[in-house]
Chain A
């Protein structure tokens, strides 16, 4: 305790955390939130009911946490994965049987992906049943819909990467569904696959979408989503 107190009084601590410790007044409490990048997702003053578990079931934060897990495990998987034929499938097998703890990592990525789809969906249900989509929050609801779509697209693009039978046919079916889009369907499927059938180009395209483009959009939109929560007056 004494040690912690000493640290909290050093110049370095003060330069990082602007709030003077120990906290004594309500103003200090507000400043802790106000001065912190991660905490200021909350407004300076929060209604007590809004931070109760049963109010949000923390579903948004659980989704965000799963996204962090997916990012970390995904980046680690990238170190052993090459988006090429036949390397992709072999790399995936190596991850399972050769790389230390590779199977654990892969399963973590996969389970988190499934859980993220579920938690994002449940989060949406909670917002719906609380009526939190109504003005002034209507635009954040739209942002949320896009976030759900990106989550699903990440699952779809990630599914091709192991390049096994399941991947191949799931993506064939998906690309053929895209073909039914009026007018631009054929073009869309050709662009997505980089050809008429799944091949080398498809694998690289899906890899870049999965590991760079979609996560980048995801990060930007999540940040915007959080910022809007505050600007719309905190949780309903």
Chain B
């Protein structure tokens, strides 16, 4: 006879707006939901490391008198080219390919019979000129340019500050 009672309770008219079963179900499901969501959040947080050992964003090159015009210094740690052009001005380029992040190489006399193609990427063959402008894809844009400033006869490169073509040159 118990069955009948349950059925009776479940039929539309007899069910009170909130009965004990509904109340307990809602409480139970809500609590489980909160715990699951919380667990997910805490786990995602856990997966993001708080301390990562990375090299400092700023580095120094110089003294500038010892850098010849028309030369390049490659900083492998920072993946940056620091260039002094024929006029004696300085600029700094990121060596990280704008396609999918491989490290590019500086070829003083160009590559593949193209004397302008000074910077090349080994991964999928992107080419850039010595100003970092795109010559050939698959990369879609030129290399990033870093801000340069002069401090006590030394160049300070800041790899977190990407600048435009005009801003990139540091005249001396």
Contacts and interface: CB of A to CB of B under 8 A. Distances in A.
Interface in B28-70: 44, 47-49, 52-54
B21 to A, nearest CB: 34
Contacts of A175: 101
B49 A195 contact: yes
Contacts of B52: 194-196, 199, 201
A191 interface: yes
Interface in A158-201: 169, 172-173, 175-177, 190-191, 194-197, 199, 201
Q: Describe A's contact surface by its main secondary structure.
A: helix
Contacts of B47: 191, 194
B103 to A, nearest CB: 8
Given A190-B48, A191-B48, A172 B53 contact: no
A111 B123 CA distance: 24
B102 interface: yes
B98 to A, nearest CB: 10
B150 to A, nearest CB: 28
A177 B49 contact: no
Contacts of A197: 54
Interface in A94-138: none
Nearest to A174: B100
Contact of A194 (B49, B101, B102, B123): B49
Most chain B CB within a 10 A radius of its CB, from A169, A175, A177, A201: A169
Contacts of A190: 48
Contact of B53 (A169, A177, A199): A199
A48 to B, nearest CB: 50
A173 B47 CA distance: 22
Interface of A: 169, 172-173, 175-177, 190-191, 194-197, 199, 201
Given A172-B100, A195-B49, 7 more contacts: A172-B102, A175-B101, A191-B47, A194-B49, A194-B52, A195-B54, A201-B49
